[in-house]
Amino acid sequence: MEIVVADTARPTVAVIIPAYDAAATLPACLAAISAMSWSADEVILFSDGSHDGTDMIARQAGARVIRNDGRPMGPSHGRNVAAAAARADLLLFVDADVVVAPDALEQLAGDMLEHRAQAAFGSYDDQPRSRRASSLYANLRHHFIHQHSRRDASTFWSGLGLIDRRLFVELGGYNAALFAHPSVEDIELGTRLLARGHKIRLTPAARAKHHKDWSLWRVWHTDVVRRAYPWSCLLADGRTAGADLNLGVIERVKAVAALCSLMILPLGILAPAATPLVAVPALGYLFLNRAFFVFLARRVPPPTLVKAIMMHWCYHIYAPTTYAVVMIQTLLGLRRPGPEAPDPMLAGFAPRPGHA
C-alpha cells in the first residue's frame, strides 16, 4: 500500500492519544498538538477508565473523547478503538505524557512520503523534563538509540508514530489480546507491517519531550517486565526476525562484556592480585559504550553520569538474562505463544459496551 498525495492536497491526520489519569501531563500534550505547524484534522483521546480530570481537559481542548467506563483495557485497545473512529488518511499516535515539537508531524509526514513509506516514528529530545538520574538515563538512552539507528527501521514506536490508517486497520491494529499493558505492542505491529512488504522510517528530526518521571524501580520493571520479557517471547515464537533498535551484534557483544565483568567481579574481591584481569571486561564494556557515555557526559553532571553508567551496565545484564530465561521456558514447554493479532473486523475495532 502506498500513500499517493496530489500536488494540491495533503493527507489528513488524526491524532490518537490513549490516556489513563493523565491530568498532570495532558494539558501540555494537547497544547503542543494545537501548536503544530501541520494542523491535525482530528484529535481523538481514549480515556481508559480515568478518574481524574482527563476527560474534561481533553474536551476543553477540542478533542473528541471516547471513554471506557470499566476497568482499564490498556493503550493497545484504546488506540485501536480511537483509530476505528478516525476518518483521516494518517494516524499520529502520541502518548499523553509526550509534548511534540511544532514541526514533528511535518517531519514525519515529509520523510514518510519522500521515501514512499507507510509509517514513520520520531524520537524523544535530549532535554527531558525530569532531572532525576533514573529519568535522565531512561529518556536519554531512548533518544540516543533513536538518533543513531538505521533510517529504514524494523520496528515502530507509538510514543510519536505516524501510520497509514487503512493499512493499520488492514493489519488488525495493535495486538490488544497479547498486550493488555504498555509493552512492546508497537514493535510487534512494526514486524507485521514489514512482513507485508511495507516500509517504516525512523525520522530523528521529529522530536518530542517526555514528561514521565522515571523512578529507578520503574525503569527496571519496565525494562524487564514490559520490554525484555515480551520482546524475548516474540523472538522465541518467531514473530520477529530481530528488531534493529538494540538487538544488533554490537549490543550482544556489550551484553557479553557486562556479564563477564559481573562473573569475574568476585575474583577481584577474593584475590586482589587478579584486579587487572577483572578490569579487562569492565574496560572493554566502557570502550564499547564510549559513544553513549560521552553523549551522557555532555548532558548530565558527573554524579548522574556515574549512576547512568551503572544503570546501563545493569541493563546489559538483565536484558540478556531475561532472554535466556524465556528460551529455557520455551524449550521446557513452560510457556505458550500468545494470541495472534485480532481480525480487524472483530472486537478490536468496535467500541465495547461501556464506551461512549
* pLDDT digits 0-9 by tens, 131-189: 999 999 999 999 999 999 999 998 999 999 999 999 999 999 999 999 999 999 999 99
**Structure-model confidence comparison of residues 252 and 200, the more confident one:** 200
Residues 6+ apart with CB under 8 A from 168: 83, 91
243, 261, 317 from 303: Cα distances, Å = 33, 22, 22
Q: Name the residue among 91, 89, 69 with its Cα closest to residue 186.
A: 91
The single residue listed with the C-alpha cell 475495532 is: 349
Give, to the nearest 10 degrees, the angle between helix 275-288 and helix 249-270: 160
Mean pLDDT of the chain: 90
pLDDT reading at 30 higher than 80? yes
pLDDT tens-digit readout, 272-329: 776 777 789 999 999 999 999 999 999 999 999 999 999 999 999 999 999 999 999 9
Q: Name the residue among 307, 304, 129, 311 with its Cα closest to residue 212.
A: 129
pLDDT of residue 239: 79
What are the phi and psi torsion angles at 94 (to 5°)? -135, 130
- Which H or E run contains 54? helix 54-60
What are the phi and psi torsion angles at 214 (to 5°)? -85, 120
pLDDT reading at 245 higher than 70? no
Sign of CA dihedral 332, 337, 338, 339: negative
Average pLDDT of the residues in 110-129: 96
pLDDT reading at 347 higher than 50? no
Q: Name the residue among 69, 28, 75, 63 with its Cα closest to residue 51.
A: 69
pLDDT of residue 63: 97
Q: Which fold has domain 13-212?
A: Spore Coat Polysaccharide Biosynthesis Protein SpsA; Chain A (3.90.550)
pLDDT of residue 356: 40
User: How far is the first Cα of the chain from the last one, in angstroms, to the nearest whole number?
Assistant: 32
pLDDT of residue 65: 98
How far from the centroid of its chain's Cα atoms is residue 20's Cα?
17
pLDDT of residue 271: 74
pTM over 0.85? The answer is yes
The single residue listed with the C-alpha cell 504498555 is: 182
Burial group, residue 346, by CB count within 10 angstroms (0-12, 13-18, 19+): exposed
Query: Residue ranges per domain, the chain?
Result: 13-212
User: Of 197-201, 242-246, 286-290, where does mean pLDDT reach its minimum?
Assistant: 242-246
pLDDT more than 70, % of the chain: 90
Residues 6+ apart with CB under 8 A from 99: 28, 29, 31, 32, 208, 209, 210, 211
Sign of CA dihedral 65, 70, 72, 77: negative
pLDDT of residue 341: 62
Q: Name the residue among 352, 350, 355, 1 with its Cα closest to residue 171.
A: 1
